[in-house]
Amino acid sequence: METSQRTVFTFATFVFDPVTGELTNRGRRVPINQQIADLLTLLLENAGTLVTREQIKHALWPDQNYLNHDKILTNAVSRLRYLMGDRSTEQPYIVNIPKRGYRFEAKVQRVAPVGSTNVAPLPAAPTELSAFAAPERRDLPAEKLTPPAEIVLGSAEKSLPGRSLWYGLTACLVLVVASAGWYFVSVHRQVTPQIYVTTVGIPPFQTPNDPASKELAESFRLDLTDSLSDRSHVAVRAAHSLEAFDIGSQDFRQRAIALGLDVLVLGHFQLQQDRCQLDLELVHGSDLSHIITLQYSVPREQIARLRDQVQHELPQQLTGGRSTEAASGVSNDAAYDAYLRAGYHLSQPSPDSMQQALQEYKQAIRLDPGFAKAYSGQARAYFFLQQAGAMPAEESLKLAQESARKALELDPHSAEPHAILGLIAAFHEFHLAEGEKELAQAISIDPNLPFYRQGMALLYCEEGQFTRALAQLDIAHANDPFWVSAYITDAHISGIAGNAARLQQDIAKLRQLAPNAARAADSIANAEWNMGQYTDAIQEWHEMALKEGDHDRAVLEEQGLEAFRRGGVSAYARVRIQAIHDGKGIESHPNDFVLAEWYPVAGERQLALQSIHEAIDRHDTSMLSLAVLPNYSSLRNLPEFTALVKQAGLTLVTTPVAAH
């Protein structure tokens, strides 16, 4: 605010001007949007005293009704901490006062302004969001073109067994690929938060209603996301939160603004005869007003050159010309075309489509043996095929590891291969320490991608480190606050950890974000069962079956509820066991029906121990939950069970839920 005696705030190595909203650290600008600037102003003006959550809400959103003020507020504080590098637990800048608010702890002084860093801002325009407003045109310098290209720049379902993995990892790996837009993004260095200039979101491109355009558009967008994430002045966030919403809808507008992004990149991709046409519109994240439009047109056979041009020009626009890194990647157009088609087919949740993706990745590698991303994609395809039961596990996982290691040989700073190696080590080979090491490496390279955090959270959960697991998900939520898969994982871990308050928040979020999704209902039911809320769980499973139109499963749950009311959990468990033997009502969610999990609940201890022993021998991944899943509670006092837990390489964990 402007006063008669204008001052700026200083703390630690930072200087903040509340009038201009400019934050610097040792003279280097730390660009923040208006929302973060307002939050910082409020905290600094009240340094040393509690600022309540209600005060912050009133100051930041006095007249606006967002989807979830509490979550948005938490995200805003997390983002401010991230930008300031506030990671200390002993002397943090901002202290959380649980359920009340925040207090700025660092020593703050008010001083007279001595100038500000002169950094070129993004161009602004007062116009509202347009459907790719017609740009003024200018020709690019001739040396940037490779004839005959014309580039014009405008100025202005069988899955992992085991409920633990299914409701976390597999929900992301197999289903979210198609429904919620999960994808791997390999990034090539860890960036310093203080030098971020622009936070960017890239929603799915609009395309005409033809399969060829749709096929290439999504893969091109993901590759563009990858490239932007590699730039030291750009932070790409909220990939999943921008999925599945019509750009022209009010819901999209509210969600985009609530995410607090600086810029959204809206795209329209089209194949016209033998040409690729790409229009990109940059809009302000605060109000979706138009910034600039970029238009490109190249022959289809020169699609790699289109990528190079976009990946060179777009960062320049986003950072005011400060992003000078050259775009990298394959120069072979045919190899890149195959790589894009592979990415699209891998996103389709069917074994046939995944097999097609694998062949296209192999084609890309044949055309360019040095194409690191193609090896990384090939590793992903092998991993998915194993998840879908379309390839023998031993063969597919070995080939996935070989491909991931080759990708790292070609590009040692890629995150995705580390993540694949970590997932295989932890969730298939039971080498949790090795898995944690690889996932930690992926996170260190790309701390913003929430999937890596999700994988680490699941690993910590299997080790019984519930606090650390949920802390990883807190970061995932901050980076991508509307990602359904992360809340599925959160509900799963909260249920096992006995965190009733957090589970209720997860359930509310899942009902809000995915009210008609059967997999969300399934995850809620499993979490409620783990919490001991048995009637609620059975009724939720019944609702899930009705949503899916699964008559056999609905009848099974009706029988199960009746049995539960007569004889408790053991009677319900026997209904499950009978269904497994009959093979009826279990087809759509086979991971809900693991004999080793239900025998203990039914009181069949010897059968349970025998089933667990057999599952460990065949390396059944459901056994990773052996030490934490409440269904095994009745076996915890048996030496044979303790020995089996040790044989699986796990440590027995005491869960809050009483024995069934």
Highest mean pLDDT among 111-115, 229-233, 262-266, 348-352: 262-266
Task: Summarize pLDDT for 297-314 with one digit per residue, the tens.
Answer: 989 888 888 888 888 888
Q: Band of the pLDDT at 89, cuts 50, 70, 90?
A: low
Return the axis-axis angle of helices 372-387 and 351-367, rounded to nearest 10°.
160
Rounded-to-integer distance, Cα 557 and Cα 562, Å: 8
Is the model's pLDDT at 172 over the cut of 80?
Answer: no
What average pLDDT does range 322-348 have in this prediction? 73
pLDDT at site 351:
85
pLDDT at site 544:
95
Rounded-to-integer distance, Cα 396 and Cα 402, Å: 10
Bigger pLDDT: 87 vs 496: 496
Q: Band of the pLDDT at 182, cuts 50, 70, 90?
A: very low
Residue 351 and residue 322 in contact, taking contact as beta carbons nearer than 8 Å: no
Rounded-to-integer distance, Cα 309 and Cα 220, Å: 13
Rounded-to-integer distance, Cα 171 and Cα 254, Å: 27
Task: Using alpha carbons, list the distances in angstroms from residue 232 to 82, 123, 227.
Answer: 15, 20, 11
Q: Band of the pLDDT at 197, cuts 50, 70, 90?
A: low
Task: Summarize pLDDT for 279-296 with one digit per residue, the tens.
Answer: 999 988 888 888 889 899
What average pLDDT does range 497-521 have in this prediction? 93
pLDDT at site 660:
55
Is the model's pLDDT at 27 over the cut of 50?
Answer: yes
Rounded-to-integer distance, Cα 649 and Cα 407, Å: 29
Rounded-to-integer distance, Cα 608 and Cα 595, Å: 8
Least confident interval from 53-67, 77-91, 128-142: 128-142
Q: What is the percentage of the chain residues whose pLDDT exceeds 70? A: 79
Bigger pLDDT: 208 vs 2: 208
Strand ordering across the sheet containing 109-111: 28-29, 22-25, 14-17, 8-11, 109-111
Task: Using alpha carbons, list the distances in angstroms from residue 649 to 432, 436, 462, 616, 644.
Answer: 8, 14, 11, 10, 9
Largest interatomic CA distance in the chain: 81
Is the model's pLDDT at 50 over the cut of 50?
Answer: yes
Is the model's pLDDT at 402 over the cut of 80?
Answer: yes
Task: Summarize pLDDT for 449-487 with one digit per residue, the tens.
Answer: 899 999 999 999 999 999 999 999 999 998 888 899 999
Radius of gyration over every alpha carbon of the chain, rounded to an integer in angstroms: 26
| Mean of the per-residue pLDDT values of the chain | 80
Highest mean pLDDT among 167-181, 213-227, 321-335, 356-370: 356-370
Strand partners, 17: 22
Residue 36 and residue 22 in contact, taking contact as beta carbons nearer than 8 Å: no
pLDDT at site 520:
94
Is the model's pLDDT at 322 over the cut of 80?
Answer: no
Is the model's pLDDT at 5 over the cut of 90?
Answer: no
Rounded-to-integer distance, Cα 210 and Cα 244, Å: 18
